[in-house]
């Protein structure tokens, strides 16, 4: 899956929680050369390649069908990626990792035209990795401890997550984020393409609540979709990896070291 | 049925003839407490009558599930609002506003939408004439230009929402507007009257057109009920 690459390609400091994404942004940042007719001009463009989900498209059956993934990843996610690259062909934005691109184009609440595409590309990457075949069930270790600390119990967290998803009006996402300032986990809902990265928070798990994510499989039965996600799809492995990286930035308290 | 329409918030005229099994049977009346509730309106045509522009499956789900959910949740929110107002609980009143706006807006918008559609063999897709036709030519140069504009705005809308052909009551001019989520048209201007609304939420087309929203927009014009739009236009400009 995501491997850390040598940092030689990075044009900026790479945060550990972005390191896992390094393979997507720097490996994919290519240079395009365009030779014009009358003079040799090299045009350097930013380009972000579409990454594959870390499992085969039918691996999430029966909770998310192959057809859904074919359309969701193959058409919709790919569409955002292509649109983004088309926009970047004429844009001064260059040399950013995906996260930097999102924060820059968000422009403190006045988003630039590239924001929507950039955020949706990242959001969908994050979403594919938030799921796994044979997922669901319970987290363990540090993640479970933190959830129990911040929500009381895992079932409280689960109920709150499902409730938050059901209360979303319109298109959007539901996130489990680690709030950097409050130093705790929180469940947030965002609309359309909004991503908690823009507030400096660290997302741990996301759920796509746009209708295209579930309509083919569940029609209007949103509650079944969300419950299946919690019970069978959510990848606590990814959550653990992301929490480990996040702890490099957010002090979650002293570790419980047993005293001899 | 007559009792239900009498006490429903909006009295919807239903054409005689084919009528699907009314999901509105599930609505309950609370006239005993003086609270008028919203009711799911019947469609004036079969679910399958708009094929192939819009599939029967989509129409059935859209009407029986989505619109019904908006009606139910709107009524619930209204009931909670009544309680909160009676108790003088201002924070509860304010907290309920988003649910009322969303579900009430969904009910309003979809009620207009069902009237905006008509099967082809009953006049769906027939272009507008006389007053509305001339107004379109004046304000948009041609019907094709209007359709193109609405399709472009509908396709460009990010997330969920509606694209409207609106009449500005003040200036008597037509305009194209979009609203997000289930916001009714009046949120874009108190003077705006909806003539036509096209639902560009994914539930309105995903099963049939998948993510290709432009195809849906291109095809829906074949079943648009311009007669209704003309009637509203004439009424407002009289």
If asked whether residues B128 and B233 sit together in one domain, one would say: yes
pTM: 0.82
- The pLDDT value given to residue A14: 40
If asked whether residues B45 and B149 sit together in one domain, one would say: no
If asked whether residues B193 and B232 sit together in one domain, one would say: yes
**Whether the predicted pLDDT of B93 surpasses 90:** yes
Q: Given an 8 Å threshold on Cβ–Cβ distance, is B211 in contact with A215?
A: no
- The pLDDT value given to residue B36: 80
The answer to whether B110 is a known ligand-binding residue is yes
Q: Given an 8 Å threshold on Cβ–Cβ distance, is B159 in contact with A71?
A: no
Report if residue B2 sits inside a domain: no
The answer to whether B25 is a known ligand-binding residue is no
Interface membership of B102 toward A (CB under 8 Å): yes
Report if residue B196 sits inside a domain: yes
Q: Given an 8 Å threshold on Cβ–Cβ distance, is A211 in contact with B211?
A: no
Preferred mutation among B67, B97, B105, B158 to probe A, highest tally of A CBs within 10 A: B158
Report if residue B41 sits inside a domain: yes
Looking at chain A, list the stretches that DSSP marks H as alpha helix, in order from N- to C-terminal side. 16-25, 66-71, 78-88, 98-106, 113-129, 141-151, 154-166, 215-218, 222-228, 236-246
CA–CA distance, B44 with B14 (Å, rounded to integer): 6
Chain B partners within 8 Å of A220 (Cβ): 61, 65-66, 69, 203
Name B168's bridge partners: B173, B192
**Whether the predicted pLDDT of B127 surpasses 70:** yes
Question: Are B206 and A215 a contacting pair, CB within 8 Å?
Answer: yes
Average pLDDT over residues B74-98: 95
The predicted-structure confidence for B33-46, as pLDDT tens digits, reads as follows 567 889 999 999 99
**Whether the predicted pLDDT of B198 surpasses 60:** yes
Q: B203, B213, B221, B229: which is closest to B53 by C-alpha?
A: B221
If asked whether residues B126 and B228 sit together in one domain, one would say: yes
- The pLDDT value given to residue B33: 56
If asked whether residues B107 and B164 sit together in one domain, one would say: no
The answer to whether B107 is a known ligand-binding residue is no
Token couple for B144: 């094709």
Chain A partners within 8 Å of B181 (Cβ): 169-170
Calculate the alpha carbon distances from B168 to A81, B71, B173, B195 in Å: 39, 28, 5, 10
CB contact set of A249 (below 8 Å; sequence gap of 6+): A15, A16, A17, A180, A202
**Whether the predicted pLDDT of B7 surpasses 90:** no
Of A223-232, B2-11, B157-166, B183-192, least confident by mean pLDDT is B2-11
Preferred mutation among A75, A168, A215 to probe B, highest tally of B CBs within 10 A: A215
Measure A40 CA to nearest chain B CA, in Å. 37
Give the count of domains, chain B. Answer: 2
Q: Given an 8 Å threshold on Cβ–Cβ distance, is B159 in contact with A171?
A: yes
Q: What is the CATH number for B168?
A: 3.55.40.20
- The pLDDT value given to residue A257: 77
Sign, CA torsion A211/A72/A52/A9: negative
**Helix, strand, coil shares, percent, chain A, to 5:** 45, 10, 45
The predicted-structure confidence for B150-173, as pLDDT tens digits, reads as follows 999 999 999 999 999 999 999 999
Q: What is the CATH number for B37?
A: 1.10.287.990
Interface membership of B215 toward A (CB under 8 Å): no
Report if residue B220 sits inside a domain: yes
**Pick from B115, B145, B175: which residue ends a domain?**
B115
- The pLDDT value given to residue A79: 95
Preferred mutation among A123, A168, A169, A193 to probe B, highest tally of B CBs within 10 A: A169
Interface membership of B69 toward A (CB under 8 Å): yes
**Pick from B69, B85, B115: which residue ends a domain?**
B115
CA–CA distance, B164 with B179 (Å, rounded to integer): 8
Question: Are B113 and B197 a contacting pair, CB within 8 Å?
Answer: yes
Measure B160 CA to nearest chain A CA, in Å. 6
Q: ω into residue B52 within 30 of 0, thus cis?
A: yes
Domain parsing of chain A, residue ranges: 66-250
Average pLDDT over residues B140-153: 95
- The pLDDT value given to residue B34: 62
Q: B212, B210, B180, B176: which is closest to B196 by C-alpha?
A: B176
- The pLDDT value given to residue A38: 53
Measure A76 CA to nearest chain B CA, in Å. 7
- The pLDDT value given to residue A92: 84
- The pLDDT value given to residue B208: 95
CA–CA distance, A80 with A82 (Å, rounded to integer): 6
If asked whether residues B133 and B32 sit together in one domain, one would say: no
Q: Structural domain of residue B213, as residue ranges?
A: 120-237
Report if residue B1 sits inside a domain: no
The answer to whether B67 is a known ligand-binding residue is no
Q: Given an 8 Å threshold on Cβ–Cβ distance, is A216 in contact with B206?
A: yes
Q: Which helix (H) or strand (E) holds B121?
A: none
Superfamily of domain A66-250: Iron/manganese superoxide dismutase, C-terminal domain (3.55.40.20)
Kindly report the length of chain B.
Answer: 238
Mark out chain A residues that contact chain B at CB-CB < 8 A: 71, 75-76, 79, 116, 169-172, 191-193, 210-212, 215-216, 219-220
Q: What is the mean pLDDT of chain B?
A: 87
Average pLDDT over residues B76-105: 95
* DSSP code for A131: B
If asked whether residues B151 and B172 sit together in one domain, one would say: yes
Token couple for B39: 């009711």
The predicted-structure confidence for A27-85, as pLDDT tens digits, reads as follows 444 444 444 455 556 677 788 889 999 999 999 989 999 999 999 999 999 999 999 99
**Pick from B73, B99, B115: which residue ends a domain?**
B115
Interface membership of B207 toward A (CB under 8 Å): yes
Q: A22, A15, A46, A230: which is closest to A125 by C-alpha?
A: A22
CA–CA distance, A121 with A20 (Å, rounded to integer): 16
- The pLDDT value given to residue A95: 80
If asked whether residues B35 and B69 sit together in one domain, one would say: yes
CA–CA distance, B74 with B224 (Å, rounded to integer): 27
User: How many Cβ pairs within 8 Å bridge chains A and B?
Assistant: 51
If asked whether residues B139 and B231 sit together in one domain, one would say: yes
Q: Given an 8 Å threshold on Cβ–Cβ distance, is A215 in contact with B180?
A: no
Average pLDDT over residues B124-149: 93
Per-residue pLDDT of chain A (260 residues; tens, 9 = 90+): 333 333 333 334 444 444 444 444 444 444 444 444 555 566 777 888 899 999 999 999 899 999 999 999 999 999 999 999 999 988 888 888 899 999 999 998 899 999 999 999 999 999 999 999 999 999 999 899 999 999 999 999 999 999 999 999 999 999 999 999 999 999 999 999 999 999 999 999 999 999 999 999 999 999 999 999 999 999 999 999 999 999 999 988 877 777 87
If asked whether residues B125 and B74 sit together in one domain, one would say: no
Compute the half-sphere exposure of residue A259: CA atoms within 13 Å on the CB side of its CA.
Answer: 0
Question: Are A223 and A166 a contacting pair, CB within 8 Å?
Answer: yes
If asked whether residues B91 and B174 sit together in one domain, one would say: no
Confidence of residue B104 (pLDDT cuts 50, 70, 90): very high
Phi and psi, residue A226, nearest 5°: -65, -40
């Amino acid at each position: 899956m995501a491997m850390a690459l040598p940092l030689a390609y990075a044009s900026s400091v790479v945060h550990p929680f972005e390191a896992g994404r390094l393979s997507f942004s720097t490996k994919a940042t290519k240079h395009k050369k365009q030779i014009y007719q009358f003079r040799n001009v090299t045009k350097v463009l930013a380009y972000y390649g579409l990454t594959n989900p870390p499992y085969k498209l039918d691996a999430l059956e029966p909770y998310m069908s192959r057809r859904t993934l074919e359309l969701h990843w193959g058409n919709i996610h790919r569409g955002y990626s292509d649109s983004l690259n088309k926009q970047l062909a004429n844009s001064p934005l260059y040399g950013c990792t995906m996260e930097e691109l999102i924060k820059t184009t968000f422009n403190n609440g006045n988003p630039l035209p590239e924001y929507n595409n950039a955020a949706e590309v990242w959001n969908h990457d994050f979403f594919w990795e938030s799921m796994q075949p044979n997922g669901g069930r319970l987290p363990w270790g540090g993640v479970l401890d933190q959830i129990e600390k911040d929500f009381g119990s895992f079932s409280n967290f689960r109920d709150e997550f499902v409730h938050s998803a059901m209360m979303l009006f319109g298109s959007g996402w539901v996130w489990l984020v680690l709030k950097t300032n409050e130093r705790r986990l929180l469940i947030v809902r965002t609309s359309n393409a909004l991503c908690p990265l823009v507030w400096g928070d660290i997302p741990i798990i996301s759920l796509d609540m746009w209708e295209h994510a579930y309509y083919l499989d569940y029609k209007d039965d949103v509650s079944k979709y969300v419950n299946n996600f919690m019970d069978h799809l959510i990848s606590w492995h990814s959550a653990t990896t992301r929490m480990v990286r996040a702890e490099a930035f957010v002090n979650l308290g002293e570790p419980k070291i047993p005293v001899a | 049925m007559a009792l239900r329409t009498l006490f429903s918030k909006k009295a919807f005229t239903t054409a005689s003839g084919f009528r699907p099994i009314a999901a509105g049977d599930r609505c309950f009346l609370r006239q005993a407490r003086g609270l008028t509730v919203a009711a799911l309106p019947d469609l004036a045509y079969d679910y399958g009558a708009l094929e192939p522009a819009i599939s029967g499956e989509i129409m059935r789900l859209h009407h029986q599930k989505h619109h019904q959910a908006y009606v139910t949740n709107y009524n619930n929110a209204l009931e909670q609002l009544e309680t909160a107002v009676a108790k003088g609980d201002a924070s509860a009143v304010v907290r309920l506003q988003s649910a009322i706006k969303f579900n009430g807006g969904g009910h309003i918008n979809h009620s207009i939408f069902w009237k905006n559609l008509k099967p082809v063999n009953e006049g769906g897709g027939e272009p507008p004439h006389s007053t509305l036709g001339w107004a379109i030519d004046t304000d948009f140069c041609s019907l094709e230009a209007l359709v193109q504009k609405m399709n472009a705005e509908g396709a460009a809308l990010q997330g969920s929402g509606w694209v409207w052909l609106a009449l500005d009551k003040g200036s008597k001019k037509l305009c194209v507007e979009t609203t997000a989520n289930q916001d009714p048209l009046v949120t874009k201007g108190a003077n705006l009257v909806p003539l036509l609304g096209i639902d560009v939420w994914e539930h309105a087309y995903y099963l049939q057109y998948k993510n290709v929203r432009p195809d849906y927009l291109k095809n829906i014009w074949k079943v648009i009920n311009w007669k209704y739009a003309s009637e509203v236009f004439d009424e407002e400009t009289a």
